Every structure is written in structure tokens, then in C-alpha cells.
Chains A and B, each alone.
Chain A
Amino acid sequence: MTLTGNQLPPPRRLRPWSGLERRLRDVGISGRTLVIAAPAIWLTVFFLVPLFVVFGISLATKQFGRPPYSPLLTTEGGTVQLTLHLSNYLKLFTDPLYVAAYLSSIRIALIATVITLFIGYPMAYAIARAPDKWRNILLMLVILPFWTSFLLRVYALSGFMRGNGVINQILAVFGIEPLVMMQTNFAVYVGIVYTYLPFMILPLYTTLVKLDTSLLEASADLGSRPWQTFLSVTLPLSLPGIIAGSMLVFIPAIGEFVIPSLLGGPETLMIGRVLWDEFFGATNWPRAAAVAVAMLVVVVIPILLLQKAQDAVVEKGK
């Protein structure tokens, strides 16, 4: 070899897009910008713009015609007039129906989240501690219900809880009076807990499976009984999973529409149903839009609070 390192020709790289890349760089666009821009554009077009449209509608009033709401901008005699109606929002505070619906939604979502947590935690713990060969099968079983339609699963539940459903038929064999389960809040809790359980189990599982078993042994070694170890080591170290799981259940549960309308009864007051009724029943798009925007605020606040709590926990754990 007579060639030294310096004389070796530079490796030829096949980059057919290099011309385009150079031209883009000339106007100040790098590959990194493009990668970030793609989801940003997607979110802007399909999330942010519609959100503003909804917000805009919420500031209009109901009127007959198509679309069924008043325009925000009107031109009359050469002047452009912006008309913003705050009446829809005022109505939300003054009409007790809405306040009650929000509070009831939060309460139902909260109770359902707590129940889901109490059922999901032991399951996640058991999966995380199961032998390796079982773990993936058990996780698979948790995810399996997602393979059937959500609607179908909720219908199936009503088949169980109906007046002449599976449960009552079994009870009848033992001579027990049929229970009223359908069209009650109980059925709504069952529905929410059942459908959202995987969202609780998966984040809990990921934190629990990472938990170093030598910490549990160290705790036992220092004199802690198993339940003391659970309270002082396992539980605090799985807090990020508890928060993540609770968020994933609580937030969609607040706005849940299908479960309360299929399983709930007249006593079940949830904001998702109110929204549906405004939109399709009363054809009051501006009111429905205001309900939606207010719901967003109601949902965003717990997200921010929980996010903050989670950050604090993660920070503390470091």
C-alpha cells in the first residue's frame, strides 16, 4: 500500500436528496426542523385549528339555517363588525344543570378511577412478579379486550346486567330476586372500570416491573413485615405509575359519553351526554361548543396538577 490515510479518497455516500437538502439549507431549513415541523403541522391543522373553530362557535348564538349559528364577523355598510356572545358561557354557570353535570362527571370519574386503581394495582403487581415466561402472556390478556370494538364490549356488559341477563339468570337458579343493575350509576362504574382497566394496569406494570427486588429484601432485612415494606417502599416508588394510570383513566372518563348513555339511567348525569343532547337534540351548536370548551378546561386543570405532582415525584426519586 502506498496510499497513506490522507490520500484515501473520501467515502462516496449515496445521497440523492443532497441537492434538495442544500437548497433547503440555503433558506434556513435543516433536517431537524423538518422532523419537528411534520407533527407540529399535523397538530396545528387537525387539533389547534378545529379547537379555535369550536371556540369561535361557542361565542356565537343559535340561529336557524345552515350553519345553525350566527356569524362572528359581519360586514355592514363597509364596516366589519365582530360580535362575541358570552351568553353561552354565562348560561353554563347560571343553569344548575351544567354545574351539576360537571360536578357529577368529576365525581363519577374520580370514584371509577379509585376503583380501577384498587383493582388494577394488585393485577399489575402480580404480572410484574410473575415468572418471565408468564409475564407476556398475562400482559397479552390485559390488552386482549382492545381487539374487540369498544362499543361491542359495552353492549356485552349490558347483556350481563340486564333484567334477564346472565347475572340475574344465575341468581334465579339460587332463588334470588333479580337485581336492578342496568340504567344505574352502578352499571356506569362497572362499564368505566372494565373498559379503562388496561390503561391503569399498563403504566403501573411498567413502574412495578422496574422495581429492584433487592430494595424489598433490604426492607425485610431491616425488620419490615411485608405490608410495611409495601407501604414504605413499593407504594412510594410506584407513585409515578399510579399518577400516570389515574390520569389515563380519569381524563377520558370525565367526558365519557358511550358508557353513560348505554349503561346509565336518568340519574346518571354526565357532561358527555349533556353535550350530545345540546348538539343533536337541541341543535344548539354554540351552547354545545361552550360545553366542550369548558370541559376541556375542566380536563386540562387535573392534567396540569397531576403532571406537576408526577414531575415532583420523579424529581424526588432522582
Chain B
Amino acid sequence: MAKKPQLAIDTRPWRDPSAKPFVRIRNVSKKFGDVSAVHEVSLDIYKSELFCLLGGSGSGKSTLLRMLAGFEQPTSGTIEIDGQDMTAVPPYQRPVNMMFQSYALFPHMNVEQNIAYGLKRDNMPRSEIGDRVAELLSLVKLQDYGKRKPNQLSGGQRQRVALARSLAKRPKLLLLDEPLGALDKKLREETQFELVKIQESLGVTFIVVTHDQEEAMTLATRIGVMNQGEIAMIGEPHDIYEFPNSRFVASFIGSANMVEGIVTEDEPDHVRIRSPELGCDIYVGHGVDCAPDQILWWAIRPEKMALSREKPETLNGANVTKGVVEDIGYLGDMSVYQLLLDSGKRIRVSQTNTARGNPDAITWEEQVYVTWGDSSGSVLTV
């Protein structure tokens, strides 16, 4: 469901150093009293992107979004939208609209009046407003609900009214604060798809704030992971998942097994790390920016490892370790095995359930070997 890149990979704007960003956030900080909510954030977002700001609560993602909308003033730094400095512009003069987490629908107005609210402020002729409202209602598939009050709608319908209202003025930039947060899982999955479709068909730049990494992965062209008011990593979803740049990102996105190790061989084409925690050596099949004897971390996703009863063939004795199955989580499509390694470390390995009702499946209390490829894990220095 992720937004299909409309351009060839090498011309994605964020990969092109000469491309002009649509939103340019420069060294923005925000302090509430002594508390620093956002710290020195710099971020470029390009036209027609669907950019997700992902982070836990208190990571500063909502504050950053509110500064883009103009509800908060940055303590320092500048925000530029479409080449114009917006730092001191009040919210009602910004070419930006926001979809609120609580939807913030006006309870005393019906659906049509809610959607028309912003258009009336622009002194648009009455007939044109009617056309635009009808167009938006059909976009969000609520044609028959125009005369209803927000309290007569279900959560999903309210969410769509909020989306229609925020799109009514055809903003250059739409900010969405946890747009799917209040919907149940099933509805959320459907709506994610619709949101991407609407975004693609209108070509509006979306900035979505979410704490739900699955949502971010599904929606985004790029994700900015935030931690304690700072951007921890910016990248395309698969970069964030497969090539995390730090221990925080590796453990925040998906699940990861992380171990400490010491560099024993540092060659341009490979690195060898000794990890007593894992009970074996780790052989990494590419060069890493590190020094011999440096202590660093190595993270691997549960699905990147394989289990076997017999000791597998390995590269010079590395990348294999041994443990006992402590617990199995059966999820249907796959099973998650929790292993207690001989070294005392617990790791998780997931295996796809390819055979139906496999009687020969690895079970509790079994001794198994764990192995992985020489580029399956990420070497992390921070």
C-alpha cells in the first residue's frame, strides 16, 4: 500500500541534491519553559511527498507539526513553506491546513457547513462553495451525509469529514495529526489505503504525525523518526527498517535482537566482531567505519535468522550460535521463537509457517542452532 514512487528511483527528489524542498525546516527548537520539546530539527520535505513523523509520546512530533501549522512559535530556527518564510505568519494566513487528531469538527454545524467553513472565509461565491462541498463529499464517499451533525456520525465518518474539511481549501500542504489513531484496526487498514489514494490523486504534500510504525511504513514515502525532540533518522521505510542508523531506531522500529561486540578484524571488505553476549563471532560481509578493538553493537531482525537442529555449514566458524527454545508465539503466518542462548542471552527468531500443521516443527525445550547471512544484521556505532 505504500505510495508507489512515480519517478524512477534515482530521481526521487530527496535523492537529488539539487532538488528544491517544498518545506524547509532549519534548526528549529521549541522550549516550553525549561522543557525542550523540539531541539535543533532540520528537515526538508519535497512536493507531493507523504512524509511521516514517527515517534513515541513526548518525542516532539506533534509540537513540530503544530509549529508548521502556526499554533506554536519556534523558540529559534526558521520554517519555510514553498519558498516563503512562515516562522512568524499566523495560522490563518498560512497555505497549510491541518487534520486534527480529535478531528475538531464544529459540533454546531452540519457536515456541509463544516466543510464549507474555510471556503466562506475566502469569500468564495455561494454556488462555487456548493460545488466544492459536493465534490469533497463524493471524494470521501459521504454524499448522503451532508445534512448530518458530527454527533450523528460514526468515528470513521467523522474522520472522513475532517479530511474533507482540511482538503477543502486545496492547501499546498496538509498536516495530519494521528489521522487514523481513533479508528479500529480493520477500518484503519482500509482508510490508510484511501488516504494514499486521495493524496496521490490530489498531489498535495502530506505530513503525517503518527506513533504507529506500521501506519508510517504503509503510508510514507519517507519517515522521520523522532526521539526526545530530535530527528533520529530520516529515510524511506525500508531504509529505516533494514538499515537503521542507531540503536534507538533499530529497537524502535519493529523488533530487533541487539548484542554488544568487539571488532577483531577490520578489513575494507569485511569485519569480524567477537560477541561473548551472543556466544560466537559475527562476520559482516562489507566494510564498516570502525577501528579494531572498538566496542560496538550489532542488531538483527528476528526474521533474518534461521533455525536448524543440525549444525549448519558456516563461514570460518562465525554467524552461528546455539540455544534452547524457551517459548513459541504462534501468529498464524509465522511463529516467533524465544531462545535462551548458551551465553545466557535471550533472542527472538521468527520463522514462516510454510508447511501446514508441520509435525516436524521445532518445539519447546529443543536444542537448536541459529544462523544468519553475512549482511543480515546492522552494525551500529551509536
Residues in chain A within 8 A of chain B (CB atoms): 212, 214-215, 217-225, 228, 232-233, 236-237, 316-318
B236-279 to A contact mask, C-beta < 8 Å, 1/0: 00000000000000000000000000000000000000000000
Most A-side CB within 10 Å, residue of B71, B92, B97, B100: B92
Closest 3 CB pairs of A and B: A222-B118, A223-B121, A218-B104
Closest approach, in angstroms, between the C-beta of B173 and any C-beta of chain A? 12
| A292–B121 CA distance with the chains assembled, in angstroms | 51
Which residues from 198 to 233 on chain B have a C-beta closer than 8 Å to any C-beta of chain A?
none
Given contacts A228-B121, A233-B106, is CB(A223)–CB(B100) below 8 Å? no
Between-chain CB contacts (< 8 Å), 10 pairs = A214-B100, A217-B71, A218-B105, A218-B165, A221-B69, A221-B91, A221-B92, A223-B118, A223-B169, A236-B108
| A224–B69 CA distance with the chains assembled, in angstroms | 14
Question: Are A218 and B149 in touch, CB under 8 angstroms?
Answer: no
B5 within 8 Å of A (CB atoms): no
Closest approach, in angstroms, between the C-beta of B40 and any C-beta of chain A? 26
Question: Are A237 and B165 in touch, CB under 8 angstroms?
Answer: no
- Closest chain A residue to B121, Cβ basis: A223
Closest approach, in angstroms, between the C-beta of A238 and any C-beta of chain B? 10
| A220–B92 CA distance with the chains assembled, in angstroms | 5
Chain B residues near A237 (CB-CB < 8 A): 107-108
Most A-side CB within 10 Å, residue of B107, B149, B166: B107
Residues in chain B within 8 A of chain A (CB atoms): 69-71, 90-93, 96-98, 100, 102, 104-108, 117-118, 121-122, 149, 151, 165-166, 168-169
Chain A residues near B117 (CB-CB < 8 A): 219, 222, 224, 232
Instruction: State the main secondary structure of chain A at its contact with B.
Output: helix
- Closest chain A residue to B152, Cβ basis: A318
- Closest chain A residue to B149, Cβ basis: A318
Closest approach, in angstroms, between the C-beta of A236 and any C-beta of chain B? 5
| A267–B204 CA distance with the chains assembled, in angstroms | 68
- Closest chain A residue to B177, Cβ basis: A214
Question: Are B100 and A217 in touch, CB under 8 angstroms?
Answer: yes
Chain A residues near B151 (CB-CB < 8 A): 318
Question: Are A215 and B104 in touch, CB under 8 angstroms?
Answer: yes
Chain A residues near B100 (CB-CB < 8 A): 214, 217-218
- Give 5 A-B pairs besides A223-B169, A224-B92, A236-B108 with Cβ atoms closer than 8 angstroms: A214-B104, A222-B118, A222-B165, A223-B121, A318-B151
Closest approach, in angstroms, between the C-beta of A80 and any C-beta of chain B? 59
Closest approach, in angstroms, between the C-beta of A226 and any C-beta of chain B? 8
- Closest chain B residue to A318, Cβ basis: B151
Question: Are B102 and A214 in touch, CB under 8 angstroms?
Answer: yes
| A28–B94 CA distance with the chains assembled, in angstroms | 69
Chain A residues near B104 (CB-CB < 8 A): 212, 214-215, 217-218
- Closest chain B residue to A215, Cβ basis: B104
Question: Are A317 and B98 in touch, CB under 8 angstroms?
Answer: no
Most B-side CB within 10 Å, residue of A215, A221, A224, A316: A221
- Closest chain B residue to A316, Cβ basis: B108
Question: Are B122 and A223 in touch, CB under 8 angstroms?
Answer: yes
- Closest chain A residue to B107, Cβ basis: A317
| A193–B165 CA distance with the chains assembled, in angstroms | 42
Chain B residues near A215 (CB-CB < 8 A): 104, 106-107
Contact of A221 among B97, B106, B108, B149 (CB under 8 A): B97
Contact of B169 among A219, A222, A236 (CB under 8 A): A222
Closest approach, in angstroms, between the C-beta of B275 and any C-beta of chain A? 49
Question: Are B98 and A221 in touch, CB under 8 angstroms?
Answer: yes
| A305–B18 CA distance with the chains assembled, in angstroms | 69
| A317–B70 CA distance with the chains assembled, in angstroms | 28
